[in-house]
Amino acid sequence: MVARAFHESGFHLGQRESLMPANAGNPAGYFENLDVYRANEAILVQLGGSWFDPPSVARQLLVAEQVTPGIREFLRNLVADGGTAPVALKEPRIGVLLSIWWPVLRDTLHPVLVVRNPEEVAHSLLARDGTPLEHGLAMWELHTTAILKALAGREATVAHHKRMVEEPAQAVALVASATTRLSPALAEEVVADGAVRAVERALYRSHRKVREPGSRLSPSQARLWDLLAGLPSGNARIHVERRLRSPSAAAVSAVKRETSRRRALLNAASGLGAPRI
């Protein structure tokens, strides 16, 4: 929804054929660049990780020098392809590969921090992938702490998902806030009122499944959610306690269990289960 709000306002995300197509899971489309998706998947495979169990910072730094030139070239091409329009970039794996991406992005693009109830995120993963709720919340914690560590002390544009769903005019305000970070020439190309078309309430179903908000959150996740929920909408400087810049040991352990579960399912499906005696 947030990426689409920028798209509908005149931001360039890539040519239509380079964006991930819609499917049953997201009938309005994903507004994610397939070139970045493929590049990030290749990096994760190379490092033995995944979007839900990312490689360590140390492992990411092993390939950073090798892949950074390609990232810089992609961004140059995206900007050139956009012509006079400003660009926007969404690809969730960037959040867990920030040791590679952030040195390039921090001086090129302005960050937009999307805030969504972690229990809604977990229910969405359960519906899409069968991910157990505990593990979905742990994945959210890993992604969130990585992003907050990068954004600590910096300005970002904060987008509250629920507020946008409940009040579509919030999408317009979001784009207008981010547009103030553009050069005057690029800002002239933005029509923020178009962002309202990105809000289709019928598409957001996970919020209905959260019966008792906060009931499933661990103490570390509750602290993270309190921080995020309290951020003002629009442009804000992100202040983060040090203890919220790293995931808890419990979250890391839960993600490892999810990795093992998925690997077992994959092996069973491919006939690579335990040998019969």
pLDDT band at 277 (very low <50, low <70, confident <90, very high): very low
Q: Inform me whether the pLDDT recorded for 201 exceeds 50.
A: yes
Q: What is the pTM of this model?
A: 0.91
pLDDT band at 208 (very low <50, low <70, confident <90, very high): low
For residue 236, how many other CB atoms are within 10 A of its CB?
14
Instruction: List the domain boundaries for the chain.
Output: 2-269
Q: What is the pLDDT of residue 275?
A: 44
Q: What is the pLDDT of residue 127?
A: 87
Average of per-residue pLDDT across 41-64:
94
pLDDT band at 211 (very low <50, low <70, confident <90, very high): low
Q: Nearest Cα to 91, choosing from 81, 78, 82?
A: 78
Q: Inform me whether the pLDDT recorded for 96 exceeds 70.
A: yes
Average of per-residue pLDDT across 42-68:
94
* Structure confidence by residue, pLDDT tens digits, 104-133: 998 889 999 999 999 999 998 998 888 899
Average of per-residue pLDDT across 156-160:
98
Contact 36, 56 (CB under 8 A): no
Q: Which residue has the higher pLDDT, 162 or 209?
A: 162
Strands 112-115 and 155-160: parallel
Q: What is the pLDDT of residue 203?
A: 82
Q: What is the pLDDT of residue 136?
A: 94
Q: Inform me whether the pLDDT recorded for 276 exceeds 50.
A: no
Q: What is the pLDDT of residue 274?
A: 47
> Can you name the residues that pair with 112 across neighbouring β-strands?
157
Q: Inform me whether the pLDDT recorded for 47 exceeds 80.
A: yes
Q: What is the pLDDT of residue 130?
A: 87
* Structure confidence by residue, pLDDT tens digits, 139-150: 999 999 999 999
For residue 140, how many other CB atoms are within 10 A of its CB?
25
Please give the backbone phi and psi of residue 44, each rounded to the nearest 5 degrees, phi first: -65, -45
The answer as to CATH 3.40.50 being correct for domain 2-269 is yes
Q: Nearest Cα to 105, choosing from 144, 147, 142, 66?
A: 147
